[in-house]
Protein backbone atom coordinates (compact mmCIF):
# COMPACT_ATOMS: atom_id res chain seq x y z
CA UNK A 1 0.00 0.00 0.00
CA UNK A 2 1.09 3.55 -0.64
CA UNK A 3 2.25 5.28 2.52
CA UNK A 4 0.86 8.73 3.24
CA UNK A 5 3.02 11.40 1.69
CA UNK A 6 4.64 8.87 -0.69
CA UNK A 7 4.49 11.44 -3.49
CA UNK A 8 5.91 14.45 -1.71
CA UNK A 9 5.91 17.23 -4.32
CA UNK A 10 5.37 17.42 -8.06
CA UNK A 11 8.80 18.95 -8.63
CA UNK A 12 10.44 16.33 -6.39
CA UNK A 13 8.39 13.26 -7.24
CA UNK A 14 9.58 9.68 -7.11
CA UNK A 15 9.82 8.51 -10.69
CA UNK A 16 10.54 4.86 -9.80
CA UNK A 17 6.85 3.90 -9.70
CA UNK A 18 3.87 4.61 -11.91
CA UNK A 19 1.71 7.44 -10.53
CA UNK A 20 -1.82 8.53 -11.40
CA UNK A 21 -2.53 12.21 -10.78
CA UNK A 22 -6.02 13.71 -10.94
CA UNK A 23 -5.71 17.35 -11.98
CA UNK A 24 -8.61 19.85 -11.80
CA UNK A 25 -9.15 23.57 -12.20
CA UNK A 26 -12.17 24.78 -10.27
CA UNK A 27 -14.12 27.77 -9.03
CA UNK A 28 -14.23 28.26 -5.26
CA UNK A 29 -17.67 26.61 -5.18
CA UNK A 30 -16.49 23.49 -6.98
CA UNK A 31 -17.53 24.01 -10.59
CA UNK A 32 -15.33 23.04 -13.52
CA UNK A 33 -16.94 25.58 -15.87
CA UNK A 34 -19.58 28.31 -16.06
CA UNK A 35 -21.90 29.55 -18.79
CA UNK A 36 -20.80 32.82 -20.35
CA UNK A 37 -17.38 32.91 -18.67
CA UNK A 38 -14.08 32.68 -20.61
CA UNK A 39 -11.48 29.99 -20.02
CA UNK A 40 -9.97 30.06 -16.54
CA UNK A 41 -12.83 32.43 -15.69
CA UNK A 42 -10.66 35.18 -17.24
CA UNK A 43 -8.49 35.19 -14.11
CA UNK A 44 -5.34 33.50 -15.35
CA UNK A 45 -2.18 35.54 -14.73
CA UNK A 46 1.45 35.51 -15.92
CA UNK A 47 2.72 33.36 -13.04
CA UNK A 48 0.10 30.69 -13.63
CA UNK A 49 0.61 30.67 -17.40
CA UNK A 50 4.39 30.48 -16.90
CA UNK A 51 3.90 27.44 -14.65
CA UNK A 52 1.73 25.81 -17.33
CA UNK A 53 4.37 26.66 -19.91
CA UNK A 54 6.97 24.71 -17.96
CA UNK A 55 4.83 21.63 -18.65
CA UNK A 56 4.53 20.09 -15.18
CA UNK A 57 4.53 16.30 -15.52
CA UNK A 58 5.42 16.73 -19.20
CA UNK A 59 6.58 13.11 -19.38
CA UNK A 60 3.20 11.78 -18.16
CA UNK A 61 0.46 10.33 -20.34
CA UNK A 62 -2.49 12.77 -20.29
CA UNK A 63 -5.80 10.93 -19.83
CA UNK A 64 -9.18 12.33 -20.88
CA UNK A 65 -12.69 11.43 -22.00
CA UNK A 66 -14.32 12.28 -25.30
CA UNK A 67 -16.00 15.52 -24.18
CA UNK A 68 -12.75 16.95 -22.80
CA UNK A 69 -10.93 15.85 -25.94
CA UNK A 70 -13.39 17.74 -28.15
CA UNK A 71 -13.18 20.89 -26.02
CA UNK A 72 -9.41 20.93 -25.52
CA UNK A 73 -8.50 19.98 -29.07
CA UNK A 74 -10.77 22.81 -30.22
CA UNK A 75 -9.04 25.26 -27.87
CA UNK A 76 -5.65 24.05 -29.12
CA UNK A 77 -6.69 24.51 -32.75
CA UNK A 78 -7.73 28.11 -31.93
CA UNK A 79 -4.41 28.83 -30.20
CA UNK A 80 -5.90 29.30 -26.72
CA UNK A 81 -3.10 30.41 -24.31
CA UNK A 82 -1.78 27.55 -22.23
CA UNK A 83 -2.81 24.79 -24.66
CA UNK A 84 0.36 24.83 -26.74
CA UNK A 85 2.22 22.90 -24.02
CA UNK A 86 -0.19 19.99 -24.50
CA UNK A 87 0.55 19.60 -28.19
CA UNK A 88 3.73 17.59 -27.75
CA UNK A 89 2.53 15.58 -24.75
CA UNK A 90 1.41 11.98 -25.06
CA UNK A 91 -2.39 11.86 -24.70
CA UNK A 92 -4.90 9.03 -24.27
CA UNK A 93 -8.62 9.54 -24.90
CA UNK A 94 -11.17 6.95 -23.76
CA UNK A 95 -14.15 6.90 -26.10
CA UNK A 96 -16.49 4.61 -28.03
CA UNK A 97 -17.79 7.48 -30.16
CA UNK A 98 -14.61 9.05 -31.54
CA UNK A 99 -12.95 7.52 -34.57
CA UNK A 100 -9.36 7.48 -35.77
CA UNK A 101 -7.49 9.27 -37.12
CA UNK A 102 -7.72 11.91 -34.39
CA UNK A 103 -6.86 15.49 -35.33
CA UNK A 104 -4.92 16.37 -32.16
CA UNK A 105 -1.32 15.20 -32.50
CA UNK A 106 0.11 12.55 -30.17
CA UNK A 107 -3.32 11.27 -29.11
CA UNK A 108 -4.12 7.56 -28.75
CA UNK A 109 -7.72 6.35 -28.83
CA UNK A 110 -8.72 3.62 -26.35
CA UNK A 111 -12.21 2.20 -26.91
CA UNK A 112 -12.45 -0.25 -24.01
CA UNK A 113 -13.39 0.31 -20.34
CA UNK A 114 -11.17 3.07 -18.89
CA UNK A 115 -10.81 1.84 -15.29
CA UNK A 116 -9.50 -1.54 -16.38
CA UNK A 117 -7.32 0.07 -19.05
CA UNK A 118 -5.72 2.42 -16.51
CA UNK A 119 -5.32 -0.40 -14.00
CA UNK A 120 -3.45 -2.38 -16.66
CA UNK A 121 -1.26 0.65 -17.46
CA UNK A 122 -0.33 0.95 -13.79
CA UNK A 123 0.37 -2.76 -13.45
CA UNK A 124 2.72 -2.63 -16.43
CA UNK A 125 4.40 0.43 -14.91
CA UNK A 126 5.21 1.88 -18.30
CA UNK A 127 4.52 5.57 -17.71
CA UNK A 128 2.94 7.78 -15.06
CA UNK A 129 -0.40 9.40 -15.92
CA UNK A 130 -2.40 12.54 -15.20
CA UNK A 131 -5.90 13.59 -16.10
CA UNK A 132 -7.25 16.76 -17.65
CA UNK A 133 -10.90 17.71 -17.11
CA UNK A 134 -12.98 14.55 -17.63
CA UNK A 135 -15.12 14.58 -14.47
CA UNK A 136 -16.74 11.18 -15.00
CA UNK A 137 -13.42 9.51 -15.79
CA UNK A 138 -11.75 11.02 -12.71
CA UNK A 139 -14.60 9.99 -10.43
CA UNK A 140 -14.41 6.42 -11.72
CA UNK A 141 -10.65 6.23 -11.26
CA UNK A 142 -10.87 7.58 -7.71
CA UNK A 143 -13.66 5.17 -6.74
CA UNK A 144 -11.59 2.30 -8.15
CA UNK A 145 -8.70 3.20 -5.81
CA UNK A 146 -6.24 4.04 -8.60
CA UNK A 147 -5.41 7.65 -7.70
CA UNK A 148 -2.09 8.52 -6.02
CA UNK A 149 -2.17 12.32 -6.07
CA UNK A 150 -5.02 14.83 -6.27
CA UNK A 151 -4.32 18.36 -7.52
CA UNK A 152 -6.81 21.23 -7.49
CA UNK A 153 -6.13 24.73 -8.84
CA UNK A 154 -8.75 27.02 -7.29
CA UNK A 155 -9.71 30.25 -9.05
CA UNK A 156 -11.14 33.06 -6.89
CA UNK A 157 -14.68 33.14 -8.25
CA UNK A 158 -18.08 31.80 -7.16
CA UNK A 159 -20.26 30.79 -10.10
CA UNK A 160 -23.34 29.63 -8.22
CA UNK A 161 -25.84 30.89 -10.81
CA UNK A 162 -23.90 30.22 -13.99
CA UNK A 163 -21.71 27.32 -12.81
CA UNK A 164 -21.95 23.94 -14.49
CA UNK A 165 -20.15 20.60 -14.18
CA UNK A 166 -20.05 20.21 -10.40
CA UNK A 167 -16.84 18.30 -9.78
CA UNK A 168 -17.54 16.40 -6.58
CA UNK A 169 -21.10 15.16 -7.07
CA UNK A 170 -21.34 11.40 -6.45
CA UNK A 171 -17.84 11.21 -4.94
CA UNK A 172 -17.23 8.93 -1.96
CA UNK A 173 -16.08 10.50 1.29
CA UNK A 174 -12.37 11.23 0.93
CA UNK A 175 -9.75 12.49 3.40
CA UNK A 176 -7.05 14.59 1.72
CA UNK A 177 -3.55 14.92 3.18
CA UNK A 178 -1.98 18.12 1.84
CA UNK A 179 1.51 17.59 0.46
CA UNK A 180 2.03 20.84 -1.48
CA UNK A 181 0.50 24.29 -1.98
CA UNK A 182 1.31 27.40 -3.97
CA UNK A 183 -0.20 30.77 -4.87
CA UNK A 184 -0.04 32.21 -8.39
CA UNK A 185 -0.50 35.89 -9.18
CA UNK A 186 -1.62 36.61 -5.62
CA UNK A 187 -5.02 34.95 -6.15
CA UNK A 188 -4.90 31.46 -7.69
CA UNK A 189 -4.35 28.58 -5.25
CA UNK A 190 -2.70 25.28 -6.22
CA UNK A 191 -3.32 22.50 -3.69
CA UNK A 192 -1.99 18.95 -3.86
CA UNK A 193 -3.11 16.01 -1.74
CA UNK A 194 -2.78 12.29 -1.19
CA UNK A 195 -6.36 10.92 -1.10
CA UNK A 196 -7.70 8.30 1.30
CA UNK A 197 -11.21 6.99 0.55
CA UNK A 198 -13.53 6.49 3.52
CA UNK A 199 -16.37 3.99 3.62
CA UNK A 200 -18.16 6.32 6.04
CA UNK A 201 -17.63 9.15 8.53
CA UNK A 202 -14.32 9.01 10.47
CA UNK A 203 -14.46 7.05 13.69
CA UNK A 204 -17.23 4.72 12.52
CA UNK A 205 -15.58 2.85 9.65
CA UNK A 206 -12.17 1.92 8.33
CA UNK A 207 -10.46 4.04 5.71
CA UNK A 208 -8.68 2.79 2.61
CA UNK A 209 -5.84 4.59 0.78
CA UNK A 210 -7.05 5.53 -2.67
CA UNK A 211 -4.18 3.79 -4.41
CA UNK A 212 -2.49 0.50 -3.73
CA UNK A 213 1.09 -0.05 -4.74
CA UNK A 214 1.22 -2.36 -7.72
For residues 211 and 192, which has the higher predicted lDDT (pLDDT)? 192
Q: What is the pLDDT of residue 3?
A: 30
Write the DSSP assignment of 2-30 as a string of letters.
PPTTSS--GGG--TTS--EEEEEEEETTS
Q: What is the pLDDT of residue 2?
A: 29
Q: What is the pLDDT of residue 205?
A: 55
Q: For the chain, what is the mean pLDDT?
A: 86
Pairing label, strands 107-110, 207-209: unpaired
Helix, strand, coil percent content, the chain, rounded in steps of 5: 25, 30, 45
What would the mean pLDDT of 143-162 be, rounded to a whole number? 96
Q: What is the pLDDT of residue 27?
A: 97
Q: Which domains does the chain possess?
A: 18-209 (3.40.430.10)
The rounded percent of the chain whose pLDDT value lies above 70 is 87
What would the mean pLDDT of 25-44 be, rounded to a whole number? 93
Q: What is the pLDDT of residue 177?
A: 97
Burial of 7 (C-beta count, 10 Å sphere; 0-12/13-18/19+) = buried
Checking if the pLDDT of 5 tops 70, the result is no
Q: What is the pLDDT of residue 10?
A: 42
DSSP structure class, residue 3? P
Pairing label, strands 163-166, 31-34: antiparallel
Cβ atoms of 166 and 37 closer than 8 Å: no
- Give strand pairing partners of 27: 155
For residues 154 and 203, which has the higher predicted lDDT (pLDDT)? 154
Q: What is the pLDDT of residue 118?
A: 95
User: Tens digit of pLDDT for each residue in 106-127?
Assistant: 999 999 899 999 999 999 887 9
Checking if the pLDDT of 157 tops 60, the result is yes
For residues 131 and 207, which has the higher predicted lDDT (pLDDT)? 131
The sign of the CA dihedral 156, 161, 163, 169 is positive
Amino acid sequence: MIAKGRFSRSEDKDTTMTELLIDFITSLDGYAAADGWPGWWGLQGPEYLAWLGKQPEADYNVLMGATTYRVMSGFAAEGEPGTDALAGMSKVVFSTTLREPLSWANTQLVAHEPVEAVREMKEKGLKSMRTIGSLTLCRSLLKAGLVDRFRVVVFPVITGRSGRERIYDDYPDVVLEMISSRTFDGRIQLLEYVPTILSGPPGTTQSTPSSTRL
